[in-house]
Structure 1
């Protein structure tokens, strides 16, 4: 700027040529130009404007035109203020302006800085004020700091006023209220407190020790934190009140670090304290209850770590109180499967339920039922697991005993069936022989029919007993396929028709014209319908009516068997499907039976996904049994009906009959010979093998229970010879359960016949052998 001043022609300006400038003016000008602070000089009556390099940023765009101009002309819109300022300085007064904003442009960035400007008079040699010297000090940071501090003070005051917790400032040793925010005022009942001491306002808290605490904080400067402190005080309306508070008393110090007061902040915890007290009372009550019940109660963390066991656990296991290693009490053989199931429950958050053996304090292991459920919070997260062990040792021992009894019962029934079937086989075969050979002798035909009916009755009783055992043990397997329910009814009616005709009942079938399909086991569904029809025939006096009707919709098929029989009382209807339940039994037991047929009907129906219901208007008014099954849309051709013996004239077969029961072997051989076949009878496996070596047979009928070498072993030897590849091997046994049939198949038999085998079964065997021969021949 000094060079710029020197380059200007000052001839026509108010200051004139520099050589004529007063010494005082030059001194002030040189001092200004040498200064590093922004400075300007307004000289003479015309207030000619001079400034230094540091002042250029303040002038911004007005530089360099401002040099030499009138000072008052540079202040746009503030000419009067400048005139007043100059007037004061020319009168000898120094003027200071603080925090003046000046827009600056530095490195292409515009900003507004703050300056403090000091205006001082400059005198000539005669001590006359001839100019104004202004020194500018940038105070932007100080101004910004002061503004921020004030803003913070305002914010803190606003927060103090808006704080939801009671706050106050107490000054002096009497703890007089200097500040009390709205929350504190609300707590105090909005009574006037400013300028008044705590002891004056609340004399009741003196004995409770609160003023002593305030005095200690004021004296020592050590803050005080109190939690859930009970306070009894008089509310604004004079009513005694008890509250619980969290309080903080913090000393306030002045700039000399002397304590002048106490900052108080409080929080009303009355609700939380009373809730906690109620929870503790509830927990104590629950703890007493948990230790009273007989169950072993425990809890674990969300990840399965044990956290608690009740006293019953420790009393039962004998483990020391507080021990949490619960798995140590579990039987070693049960730990791995229990842990595997437990991990699944923990991962999936599902109920955990197992049985295990738990070590008793006596040293023995006792069976317990273990069950645990997850406890979740409002967000559905598992917070813990609560579980229990229930001593079921007595029940398990009883269950094992019952299972043993059930096994023995099943074995007994199977043995009973075998022992009954063995003598029934020759009786049944003899009756069929009589029927075949006595066509012209009515008394003999009638006797044969009587024997056959009674044999069938005994066989049905035996089958019902075995079916009951199978159903109750879940051993019934269904061979399910699409069936026309009308064909099932027709096959069932064929079996029951003799009993219906014998009692001169009228039978009505309302089955509709179209096939109605279900998905089921053909033989088992026939068994169901036979039982219902047989039941209707038995409990309807001679000359009654029995009807079968079908109703079907898109989803279900309903079959109703109705009769005009003796009916049922309501209490009998409720139990009609119970096992071994029968109505009132007359001395003559004209209806017979064991009371298990309807129970089997219900079980088989449910296995098919159906339901059965019984109803009756009352005694003497007949009964209805409604069987409902899911409908099936699939269509299959009905099974071919059996041919009679006379219709199926077959080529002569060589048959080997092996049975150690001489009568059974003889009568069955007679039946087969009557059908035109050559039969060789043997009573031992060794003799049978000798016959086979001489010449193989077309059909082998082998009794399973042969002495020394049983039927399973015998069929293996016969098969392994390789000389009878197309022959049919038939197992004959008094045992007919599923496992017996499976054992026969594994041994190598093609078919398993249960004694007594009837004429139709024998005819089907012959037809099967003929089919096999036809296939082999082709």
Structure 2
């Protein structure tokens, strides 16, 4: 519950004296959630069980999504953001959610270690048939002697005062390499900022734009109709408030039976469901909502091994998020789902 409640600190209905306390909780819980996700990802990569579902994606769109998620932190630190998307072709074969995770990790790192100044995000085309993405900041920088170690797991490069286990760049590097890409980091030393560059091979073919299947296209994943299935009442209420504050239309359900009743008479764009429910399987609900409206499913679970991901896919869910859910990661997935609402699984970009 705390994981979701701390995001209400920006709500005007919250007493001002609670804002600071909620911000403290937010920083600590967000750190814990990120550490858990990072450790799970690192375990999957090391065991060779990291699953990617690739499709042709637009790097520029994923970059914009990642920047939108980081925008509140950029504004809070009063940093200047410069965006230069000069690459003529930015289409690559990639898992959209995981590639966006790469960009989010890099931008989040830049914001984290930059107290003043600017962040510059740019893309460029290369003669070798690749597209490069560079995130340059004016932050604390890294000593040259430490540059060779920054992609090692648990390596903090003496910047650990900010918290964390030093897994973010190691996972980012692994994800980039799983996409047949390359990542490099440059810094002229302490106080001189950092530049991270990712190079990815361009897709051989760019698909034609999919035909519009519903009127009034949903903008940036907002105003989506969400059926929330969570049996813990407090968590259900907190998630409902959080999603509504972010512009989603939410219908909460506390059990499978009530969710099935709601799903039989209403259409939804997304099903956000806990997997451990006392009165049945969320797969029953997934089947009903998908049949009515090609609804996309997001599973929430405290379990995060490969067999748990396979179980979610077998139930019809497109995504599997491990609790406690990092809000930035949830927002990434919700935005990605917003692009494929109302489209059959076979035609949508699977992530």
TM-score bucket (shorter structure): 0.7 to 0.9
Partner residue of 1:479? 53
Partner residue of 1:544? 117
Cα distance change on mapping 1:750 and 1:569 into 2, 3 Å: closer
Checking the alignment, whether the CA contact within 8 Å between 1:483 and 1:519 is kept in structure 2 is yes
For the pair 1:681 / 2:254, whether they are aligned, the reply is yes
Partner residue of 2:229? 657
Checking the alignment, whether the CA contact within 8 Å between 1:696 and 1:724 is kept in structure 2 is no
For the pair 1:635 / 2:209, whether they are aligned, the reply is no
Cα distance change on mapping 1:677 and 1:515 into 2, 3 Å: same
Cα distance change on mapping 1:749 and 1:664 into 2, 3 Å: same
Partner residue of 1:740? 308
- Distance in 2 between residues matched to 1:488 and 1:495, nearest whole Å: 11
Checking the alignment, whether the CA contact within 8 Å between 2:88 and 2:124 is kept in structure 1 is no
Cα distance change on mapping 1:636 and 1:664 into 2, 3 Å: same
- Distance in 2 between residues matched to 1:694 and 1:504, nearest whole Å: 44
- Distance in 2 between residues matched to 1:630 and 1:579, nearest whole Å: 25
Cα distance change on mapping 1:757 and 1:627 into 2, 3 Å: closer
Partner residue of 1:562? 136
Checking the alignment, whether the CA contact within 8 Å between 1:505 and 1:543 is kept in structure 2 is yes
SS in 2 for 1:578: coil
Cα distance change on mapping 1:515 and 1:706 into 2, 3 Å: same
What does residue range 165-204 of structure 1 map to in structure 2 within 5 Å? none
Partner residue of 2:67? 493
SS in 1 for 2:199: strand
- Give the superposition deviation at 1:631: 2.6
SS in 2 for 1:624: strand
SS in 2 for 1:518: strand
SS in 2 for 1:550: strand
Checking the alignment, whether the CA contact within 8 Å between 2:149 and 2:157 is kept in structure 1 is no
Larger Rg: 1
After superposition, give the CA deviation of every residue in 1:419-461 in whole Å (9 maximum; x if it has no partner). xxxxxxx2244345675xx446683795698365655444333
Count the aligned residue pairs.
Answer: 324
Checking the alignment, whether the CA contact within 8 Å between 1:615 and 1:623 is kept in structure 2 is yes
Cα distance change on mapping 1:499 and 1:719 into 2, 3 Å: closer
- Distance in 2 between residues matched to 1:498 and 1:690, nearest whole Å: 36
Checking the alignment, whether the CA contact within 8 Å between 1:480 and 1:522 is kept in structure 2 is yes
Partner residue of 2:39? 465
CA RMSD in angstroms comes to 4.3
Checking the alignment, whether the CA contact within 8 Å between 2:154 and 2:166 is kept in structure 1 is yes
For the pair 1:704 / 2:275, whether they are aligned, the reply is yes
Checking the alignment, whether the CA contact within 8 Å between 2:87 and 2:125 is kept in structure 1 is no
Checking the alignment, whether the CA contact within 8 Å between 2:56 and 2:207 is kept in structure 1 is yes
Unaligned 5+ runs, structure 2: 211-217, 345-351
For the pair 1:514 / 2:88, whether they are aligned, the reply is yes
- Distance in 1 between residues matched to 2:322 and 2:252, nearest whole Å: 20
Checking the alignment, whether the CA contact within 8 Å between 1:657 and 1:669 is kept in structure 2 is no
Partner residue of 1:427? 2
SS in 2 for 1:726: helix
Structure with bigger strand share is 1
- Distance in 2 between residues matched to 1:486 and 1:695, nearest whole Å: 35
What does residue range 91-490 of structure 1 map to in structure 2 within 5 Å? 426-431=1-6, 438-439=11-12, 443=16, 446=19, 450=23, 455-490=29-64
After superposition, give the CA deviation of every residue in 1:338-381 in whole Å (9 maximum; x if it has no partner). xxxxxxxxxxxxxxxxxxxxxxxxxxxxxxxxxxxxxxxxxxxx
- Distance in 1 between residues matched to 2:78 and 2:187, nearest whole Å: 22
Considering Cα pairs closer than 8 Å and 6+ residues apart, tell me whether 1 or 2 has the greater RCO. 2
Partner residue of 1:15? none
Unaligned 5+ runs, structure 1: 1-425, 683-687, 773-778
SS in 2 for 1:632: coil
For the pair 1:621 / 2:192, whether they are aligned, the reply is yes
Cα distance change on mapping 1:443 and 1:538 into 2, 3 Å: same
- Distance in 1 between residues matched to 2:208 and 2:196, nearest whole Å: 28
Length-normalised TM-score, structure 1:
0.36
Checking the alignment, whether the CA contact within 8 Å between 2:70 and 2:107 is kept in structure 1 is yes
What does residue range 80-91 of structure 1 map to in structure 2 within 5 Å? none
